[in-house]
Amino acid sequence: MRAKRERETSDYAAMVRRVIRAHGRRVADADDVDLTELANMQVTLDAAIQTAVDGMRARGESWAYIARAFGTTRQAAQMRYGKAAA
């Protein structure tokens, strides 16, 4: 079951990336208010990443496991996403 969930998550992430890229193309023909909204999506993405990390930690995943996803060390992941960082 885990493999199916991972595949569905990957498919969903690919769709979200396509939507974000398309939104960037639309904003290229828009005004500064639209650009501000696009830039604000970074805040939303950062919050979503924090939620995912918090959920993985609550589930018992190690900092080393989480760090692999970011291509960094466990210490760097913990410093950035640990409760003390918040």
Q: What is the pLDDT of residue 54?
A: 97
Query: DSSP class of residue 29?
Result: T
Q: What is the pLDDT of residue 7?
A: 66
Condensed to tens digits (0 to 9), the pLDDT of residues 24-67 reads 999 999 989 999 999 999 999 999 999 999 999 999 999 999 99
Is-contact 54 64, C-beta < 8 A?
A: no
**Is residue 4 pLDDT above 90, yes or no?**
no
Residues making up the chain, counted from first to last: 86
- Using alpha carbons, select from 59, 60, 54 the residue that is nearest to residue 78: 54
Q: What is the pLDDT of residue 8?
A: 86
Query: DSSP class of residue 39?
Result: H
Q: What is the pTM of this model?
A: 0.77
**Is residue 1 pLDDT above 60, yes or no?**
no
Query: Across 1-86, where does the E strand assignment appear?
Result: none
